[in-house]
Amino acid sequence: MARSRLTPARADRLAELLDVLLDCGICLACLSFVSMAVDGGDPKDVAREARRMTPYLWDEGLAEPALTAARSAVRAGVPGAEVALADLEANGGRSAVARALVRRLAVELSRQVQAEIRFDERMRQGGPARRPELN
């Protein structure tokens, strides 16, 4: 397998082009290792956890939605989508774009968990009985 030469910043930009959602079928418990690192705020921890967990997430369900999204972006003529697709196809769960997708999804998971925590705190304090919108 070819080693990816994309910088993390470029991979992040490419991952933003791909329509892969948090509910794409990946294991949220596995993703939580990365989201907890996001919560910790140390970029090195986030990178380490993303590097460690992405191959598992890829094998357990991220591959199909990531490749489908990349192929759709290529067909739609999205600039840079060809690079993202090539990286995903060549390197799979070890690709820079897959790691960037995992980091992005981990940030989304962290935001959802934090919103739930704030909601629960408001409920304990007699706040409004409406759950936050998580979209």
The token pair at 35 is 């989201």
pLDDT in tens, 11-62: 999 999 999 998 888 999 999 999 999 999 999 999 999 999 999 999 999 9
What does pTM read for this prediction?
0.83
pLDDT tens digits, 79-111: 999 999 999 999 999 999 999 999 999 999 999
Q: Is the pLDDT of residue 1 over 50?
A: no
Q: CB burial class (10 A; 0-12, 13-18, 19+) of residue 2?
A: exposed
